[in-house]
């Protein structure tokens, strides 16, 4: 094993313990900041910007004005429905530190590999008993490839199973740095049609398609399809996605991820608009039809995961 730089820093916005999704067994998910995509259904919008961000929970605010007095930049304006002038805010955290209710919170923390490992070690016994491990998520974890590589080397040195959730939109250099230390890649396929992909994610799918071949060559890969009403839940779009996935010779399994709107409230906390309001969920019977279609093409298929 190569030497490990335990002082390497990354920007982490959450560490979620006791997860039974996103890989086998009981897992801890490390959520990293930064994503090049802007998926309209993103349930973690606080992950998109690569740097720390200030969140405002209106429902917790008691209008005590302590934050206004603490802010030396004049970045808080009660007449603004979202309170925060993000152009003036320098993320000093003075307002969040003095807020008595937690209405103001900074998302994102600079952490070293050593600090993250110390958190992950708390649940090491669960990983071994359940054949679980660590999953890197985001955002797009590959945006912090150097940090991921050092963190993963440290995980592998302890014998932990490693997984990554990725869109595959990254440089080949980033993929080659990270994937050799990954046991399982959970790779999204969001749309076959490039125009649909651009419309709903903000980027072309051409690089993702190229990288899909590279990723499945390096490590065990499961394709996951976030299935969104009005976007890609159409049976013909599914057929086209499966047609592409069949060109990935080492991919044998597809997971269908039905749409949910659990992250909608977070957009308000960030002062952003949620583009998929009131679209509803994909009908369960339709999801089952999509599952049958995937299985009829010779793939193992799960709903969720």
Domain locations along the chain: 9-49+108-303, 55-105
Contact 46, 53 (CB under 8 A): yes
How far apart are the C-alpha atoms of 91 and 255, rounded to whole Å? 38
Asked, colleague to colleague, whether 9-49+108-303 and 55-105 share their fold, the answer is: no
In the sheet that holds 253-258, the strands lie side by side as 109-112, 9-19, 27-32, 133-137, 161-166, 184-188, 220-227, 253-258, 300-303
User: What are the DSSP calls for 273-300, one per residue?
Assistant: --TTTT--PPPHHHHHHHHHHHHHTT-E
Q: Which of 180, 190, 131, 184 is nearest to 162 (CA)?
A: 184
Which position has the higher pLDDT, 85 or 271?
85
Q: Is the pLDDT of residue 280 over 90?
A: no
User: May I ask the CATH architecture of the domain 55-105?
Assistant: 2-Layer Sandwich (3.30)
- Mean pLDDT, rounded, of the chain: 96
Q: What is the mean pLDDT of residues 116-127?
A: 97
pLDDT band at 1 (very low <50, low <70, confident <90, very high): low
Q: What is the mean pLDDT of residues 160-182?
A: 98
H-type alpha helices, the chain: 66-70, 94-98, 113-120, 124-130, 145-157, 172-178, 194-201, 206-218, 235-245, 264-269, 284-296
pLDDT band at 2 (very low <50, low <70, confident <90, very high): confident
pTM over the 0.75 mark: yes
Q: What is the mean pLDDT of residues 63-90?
A: 95
Q: Is the pLDDT of residue 194 over 90?
A: yes
Q: Which of 45, 55, 268, 202 is nearest to 138 (CA)?
A: 45
Contact 4, 112 (CB under 8 A): no
Residue 31: strand, helix, or coil: strand
User: 300 pairs with which residues across the strands?
Assistant: 253
Q: What is the mean pLDDT of residues 157-175?
A: 98
Q: Tell me the per-residue pLDDT of 13-51, one tens digit each, with 9 for 90 and over.
A: 999 999 998 999 999 999 999 999 999 999 999 999 999
Structure tokens at 198: 């651009």
CATH tag for 9-49+108-303 (out of 3.20.20.70, 3.50.50.60, 3.40.50.2300, 3.40.50.300): 3.20.20.70
Q: What is the mean pLDDT of residues 141-151?
A: 99
């Amino acid at each position: 094993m190569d030497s490990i730089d335990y002082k390497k820093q990354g920007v982490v916005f959450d560490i979620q313990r006791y997860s039974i999704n996103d890989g086998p067994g009981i897992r801890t998910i490390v959520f990293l900041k930064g994503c090049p995509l802007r998926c309209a259904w993103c349930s973690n919008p606080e992950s998109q910007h690569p740097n720390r961000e200030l969140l405002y929970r209106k429902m917790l605010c008691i209008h005590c004005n302590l934050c206004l007095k603490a802010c030396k930049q004049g970045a808080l304006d009660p007449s603004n429905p979202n309170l925060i002038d993000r152009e003036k805010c320098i993320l000093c955290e003075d307002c969040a530190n003095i807020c008595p209710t937690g209405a103001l919170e900074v998302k994102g923390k600079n952490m070293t590999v050593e600090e993250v490992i110390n958190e992950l070690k708390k649940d090491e016994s669960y990983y071994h008993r359940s054949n679980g491990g660590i999953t890197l998520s985001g955002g797009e974890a590959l945006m912090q490839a150097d940090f991921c590589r050092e963190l993963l080397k440290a995980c592998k040195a302890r014998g932990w199973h490693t997984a990554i959730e990725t869109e595959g939109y990254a440089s080949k250099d980033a993929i080659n740095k990270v994937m050799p230390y990954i046991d399982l890649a959970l790779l999204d396929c969001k749309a076959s049609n490039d125009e649909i992909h651009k419309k709903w994610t903000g980027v072309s799918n051409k690089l993702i398609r190229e990288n899909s071949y590279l990723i499945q060559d390096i490590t065990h890969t499961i394709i996951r399809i976030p299935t969104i009403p009005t976007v890609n839940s159409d049976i013909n779009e599914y057929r086209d996605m499966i047609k592409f996935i069949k060109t990935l010779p080492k991919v044998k399994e597809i997971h269908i991820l039905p749409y949910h709107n659990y992250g909608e409230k977070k957009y308000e906390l960030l002062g952003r608009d949620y583009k998929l309001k009131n679209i509803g969920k994909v009908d369960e019977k339709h999801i089952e039809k999509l599952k049958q279609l995937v299985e009829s093409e010779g793939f193992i298929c799960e709903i969720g995961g």
